[in-house]
Amino acid sequence: MKSPARVLRAVAGAAVLLLLLLVGILLIPPYLQNWKLQRYVNDLFDDPNSGTQPPDSIRVLVLNRAAALGLPVHSDDVHVARSGNALRIDVLYVVHIDLAGYSVDLHFRPAAGGT
């Protein structure tokens, strides 16, 4: 027969694992969506047609993709700069996550291009 302390430790361990699983369920989706936005920004940078588009058009493309992914990206969060033939795309946005009794702001910075 198991001692009460051993059963209590097993229950506490299971509770901690469940808590970690729940936190992961809340935190993984924003990271996944950011990864998708980063891939899109990389693809835009690699697309030869992007070199001929004005920066505002590229900004709109990034904003539309971020909106489609459900990310809180605003127009002033996207910076597109062109220096000669070099293109630079920077995005900075924050995702606010509310956990029970605690909240966290996740800062993301997808970017592509030269300096």
In a domain, 103, yes or no: yes
In a domain, 94, yes or no: yes
Domain span holding position 96:
30-113
38 band by pLDDT with thresholds 50, 70 and 90: very high
| pTM listed for this prediction | 0.81
In a domain, 22, yes or no: no
In a domain, 61, yes or no: yes
Alpha helices in 47-112 (DSSP H): 55-68
Most confident of 10-14, 17-21, 35-39, 45-49: 35-39
In total, how many domains does the chain have? 1
CA dihedral 80, 82, 87, 88 (to 10 degrees): -40
Alpha helices in 47-111 (DSSP H): 55-68
Of 1-15, 20-34, 70-84, the poorest mean pLDDT is in 1-15
In a domain, 65, yes or no: yes
Q: 81: part of which helix (H) or strand (E)? A: strand 78-83
In a domain, 91, yes or no: yes
At 92, which amino acid appears? L
| DSSP classification of residue 53 | S
In a domain, 3, yes or no: no
In a domain, 57, yes or no: yes
Which two tokens mark 86?
């070099």
Place of tokens 């920077």: 90
